[in-house]
Homo-oligomer: A and B are copies of this chain.
Amino acid sequence: MNIGDVSDLSGLPTKTIRYYEDIGLVHPARGANGYRDFNEREAHRLTFLARARSLGFSIEECRTLLSLYADRSRASAEVKDLARDHLDRIAQKIRELDALRRTLETLVSQCHGDDRPDCPILDDLSGTLGKPT
């Protein structure tokens, strides 16, 4: 398969696939014309990567997941730990964003938002008032 085919298959842009080869996540063979030639296994690694990335795993986590996937004797506990760490980070990020959202909502609701110049949002940013949050 050429790069365009695995791109269609995996949903990853060709640019990204070439990048993944650069950083050693896939190892396609090369045809006589210099084109990359993906076999089943390499194509499968790409769909695996696409899914793992869409779940928010970092490239390095994906690298680990791929090696765990290739290791037929690894314990599922290793994978679960990685996934749980990732889950914790996501949950933490959500909490942070939610705190941010609440602060911003308060500020936005306090700003009358008309053509007058006084603005509680800028007042907060400039620190001229006791800060909320």
A121 at the binding interface (Cβ < 8 Å): yes
> How many chain copies does the complex carry?
2
Whether the Cβ atoms of B84 and A108 lie closer than 8 Å is: yes
Given the known interface contacts A94-B98, A100-B90, A126-B44, the answer about A73 and B117 at a Cβ–Cβ threshold of 8 Å is yes
User: Contact size class for A?
Assistant: 35 or more
Write the chain B residue with the least CB distance to A80.
B113
- What are some 21 contacts across the A-B interface (CB < 8 A)? A51-B124, A51-B125, A51-B131, A68-B122, A69-B122, A69-B125, A73-B117, A74-B117, A76-B115, A76-B117, A76-B119, A77-B114, A80-B111, A80-B113, A80-B121, A90-B101, A90-B104, A93-B97, A94-B94, A94-B97, A94-B98
